[in-house]
């Protein structure tokens, strides 16, 4: 990576790296400013993103303080921080804030009843800002730095582990977690910051649902028949609640439904152990990622649109991607200087 005479800090996050690798146009709208004349930030913050940050803060506090009260305080600090940012932008929705807080409280109440507290290192949400190696590997870059936020670290049998807390609409497969680059980049950053190579990463996922009462349906396909427990396997109730409902309504338990409800997971812990040389490889990947972003920043590479249509689902910029219209852009987004021109500072949205 050629630094030239430019020594101002250019922060890279996993989010930015992912966008540059998956869709260069999406990266440019958010960071580069070549296609729209400026970088763009959606005026509305996605509630699921705010909820994910608050969840990580709450669970980390729970395992550090071993107290639900501390978890709620950490959750509220995170939500209030997001609310303050939204108020500054004039897009704060008090009703959505309260609704999200109530949802997270239900999830947290469920979590503290199914998860035993264990000792997390006391420094919560550690912020790391680590220089990326130069292309030669002889020294570190004096411009490009990786910014990341760890949910926590802990020791297991004297070995150091990175800990990540995730709130999911559906629990991930072990293979999907094992393939994640984010956990490796974060582990590499912690290794560089502390000089301690972590053994691996523990990913703690919580299903973004709490148990509900058993589903009730019309019995015997008659409109005047009383309601009875449903035998649907996808209902979000516990096996015990289903059995109790069947007994109360004198309905025979469906064994297939019962088995499906017994095997449903509301929470999972997936440990990923790093193989020899894996974190060194993660560092080399970061060098390549920084080089790609440098080439996009400078205009040496022009951003490619829609390289894979699957990337368009859920993209904040799909309405303007084909041909950015200034009126539509100004209605939906906040214009910002391209990231390369900003006075860089550490923040969760970087």
Cα–Cα dist 55/153, whole Å: 16
> Which pLDDT does position 4 carry in this prediction?
42
Cβ neighbours of residue 99 closer than 8 Å, sequence gap 6 or more: none
Query: Domain limits of the chain?
Result: 11-43+286-341, 47-114, 126-208+268-284, 216-264
Tens digits of per-residue pLDDT, 261-313? 999 999 999 999 999 999 999 999 999 999 999 999 999 999 999 888 888 98
> Which pLDDT does position 45 carry in this prediction?
59
> Which pLDDT does position 344 carry in this prediction?
61
> Which pLDDT does position 17 carry in this prediction?
97
Cα–Cα dist 112/168, whole Å: 17
> Which pLDDT does position 6 carry in this prediction?
47
Any alpha helices (H) in the chain, and if so which ranges?
14-22, 24-27, 47-65, 68-89, 94-114, 174-178, 182-194, 239-248, 255-263, 278-298, 326-332
> Which pLDDT does position 7 carry in this prediction?
53
Which ranges of the chain have pLDDT less than 70? 1-7, 45-49, 124-125, 136-138, 220-224, 344-350
297 Rama sector, left if φ>0, alpha if ψ -120 to 50, beta otherwise: alpha
> Which pLDDT does position 320 carry in this prediction?
93
> Which pLDDT does position 195 carry in this prediction?
95
> Which pLDDT does position 139 carry in this prediction?
76
Tens digits of per-residue pLDDT, 132-169? 988 766 678 788 999 999 999 999 999 999 999 999 99
Report whether 165 contacts 227 (CB < 8 A).
no
> Which pLDDT does position 309 carry in this prediction?
84
Instruction: Please provide residue 102's backbone torsions phi and psi, each rounded to the nearest 5 degrees.
Output: -65, -40
**DSSP output for 257-313:** HHHHHHH--SEEEEEEEPPTTHHHHHHHHHHHHHHHHHHHHHTSSPPPS-SSGGGGT
Report whether 22 contacts 289 (CB < 8 A).
no
> Which pLDDT does position 136 carry in this prediction?
67
């Amino acid at each position: 990576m050629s630094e030239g005479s430019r020594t101002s800090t250019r922060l890279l996050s996993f989010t930015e790296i992912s966008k540059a690798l998956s869709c260069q146009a999406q990266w440019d709208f958010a960071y580069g400013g070549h296609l729209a004349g400026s970088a763009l930030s959606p005026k509305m913050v996605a509630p699921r993103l705010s909820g994910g940050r608050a969840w990580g803060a709450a669970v980390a506090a729970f395992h550090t303080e071993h107290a639900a009260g501390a978890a709620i305080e950490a959750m509220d600090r995170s939500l209030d921080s997001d609310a303050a940012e939204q108020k500054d932008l004039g897009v704060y929705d008090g009703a959505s804030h309260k609704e999200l807080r109530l949802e997270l409280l239900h999830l947290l109440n469920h979590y503290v009843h199914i998860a035993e507290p264990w000792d997390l290192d006391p420094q919560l949400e550690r912020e790391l800002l680590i220089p990326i190696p130069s292309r030669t590997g002889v020294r570190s870059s004096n411009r490009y730095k990786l910014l990341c936020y760890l949910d926590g670290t802990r020791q297991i049998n004297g070995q150091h582990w990175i800990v990540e807390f995730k709130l999911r609409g559906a629990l991930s497969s072990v293979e999907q977690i094992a393939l994640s680059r984010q956990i490796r980049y974060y582990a590499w950053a912690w290794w560089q910051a502390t000089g301690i190579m972590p053994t691996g990463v523990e990913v703690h996922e919580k299903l973004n649902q709490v148990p509900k009462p058993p589903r009730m349906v019309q019995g015997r396909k008659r409109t005047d028949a009383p309601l009875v427990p449903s035998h649907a396997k996808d209902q979000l109730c516990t096996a015990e609640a289903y059995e109790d409902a069947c007994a109360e309504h004198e309905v025979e338990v469906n064994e297939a439904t019962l088995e499906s409800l017994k095997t449903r997971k509301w929470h999972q812990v997936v440990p990923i152990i790093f193989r020899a040389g894996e974190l060194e490889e993660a560092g080399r990947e970061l060098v390549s990622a920084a080089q790609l972003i440098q080439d996009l920043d400078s205009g040496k590479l022009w951003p490619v649109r829609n390289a894979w249509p699957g990337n368009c689902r859920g993209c904040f910029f799909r309405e303007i991607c084909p041909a950015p219209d200034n009126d539509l852009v100004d209605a939906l987004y906040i214009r910002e200087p391209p990231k390369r021109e900003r006075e860089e500072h550490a923040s969760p949205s970087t």
